[in-house]
Amino acid sequence: MNFSWTLLLAFFGLILGHGLPGMVVGGVIGFVVDSLRQSQRYRATPSAGGFVGPLFALLGAVAKADGRVSEAEIAIAERLMTRMGLSAEQRREAIASFNAGKQPEFDVRRPIEELRHWVGLRRDHAFPVLDVVIETVLAEGQPSPQKMAILQQLAFALRISDMELMALMAMKGYAWNGAYGGARGPGRGPGGSGYVPPQRSAQGPDPYAVLGIQRNADDRAVKRAYRKLISEHHPDRLGDLPEDMRRRAEARASEINAAYERIKAERGFK
């Protein structure tokens, strides 16, 4: 929960109320405001079915971005339909949307905008959506600059930073240095290869990459990154997402916990 109004009004209460009583009153009022804002934020999220069309349209566009749609990419889309438990009507919508996304003239900005609207301020919904798209991006191994550009464009629309996107890819055993910079802003085309082959050791992916931090980060930064990630990826916060996306969140939470435990063991802090 964001406590910005709690802290702000507590500060003003301390100044204007000349001491602790004013701070307490201001803090209580701010907490009520923050609670109301949080409840409105969660109610504003549309139903889970609202993202099926734009999601599969974007998957079709990603699959076609390098000029051809592979069997592996089609198989991923079909498995996703099954794992999400789509109804017959939703499945028809998903297939039609995927085929529409494959068309040469298809504009990815429309489904990205629809997904941005569906996610709203729910970052815990943004990550499962990105996870699904990453799976298609990496379906054939080394992704093309065109696929990475679409992925970055989606991440930018969902307010996910390059570092957070790198962490998501690291959880799948891949490292990416962010060189596909074109999608982060208008007028910048995709450049050089930002892909690095799988970086998964016998112990799993690089724990620092999973937490989205540098190896020279201090212990406080490690703990702060862990708390932030685990709060955003915890499956208990996902609400009405399909079971498949809940399982993805559970897997990511496990990866985050494992990465943190490895760093703690390596550094010797609790």
Q: Please write down the long-range contacts of 42-49, taking CB distance under 8 Å and 24 or more positions apart.
A: 42/122, 42/239, 44/120, 44/121, 45/118, 45/119, 45/120, 45/122, 45/125, 45/239, 45/240, 46/117, 46/118, 46/120, 47/240, 48/240, 48/241, 48/242, 49/90
pLDDT: is 270 or 180 the higher one? 270
pLDDT score of 264 = 85
Alpha-carbon distance of 241 to 247, in angstroms, equals 10
Query: Could you give the residue ranges of the DSSP H alpha helices within the chain?
Result: 4-16, 20-43, 52-64, 71-83, 88-101, 109-119, 123-137, 145-157, 162-171, 207-211, 219-233, 243-267
Between 153 and 199, the higher pLDDT residue: 153
38-58: average pLDDT? 62
pLDDT tens per residue, range 225-247: 888 877 776 666 655 566 666 67
The answer on pLDDT for 40 being more than 50 is no
Cα(233)–Cα(58) distance, integer angstroms: 23
Mean pLDDT of 56-63: 95
The strand pair at 195-196 and 175-176 is best described as: antiparallel
* Residue that is written with structure tokens 């307010």 in the block: 159
pLDDT at 52: 87
Residue 94: closest CA among 104, 103, 106, 82: 82
Q: What would the pLDDT profile of 187-221 be if each residue is shown by its tens digit?
A: 333 333 454 444 445 566 778 877 877 888 888 88
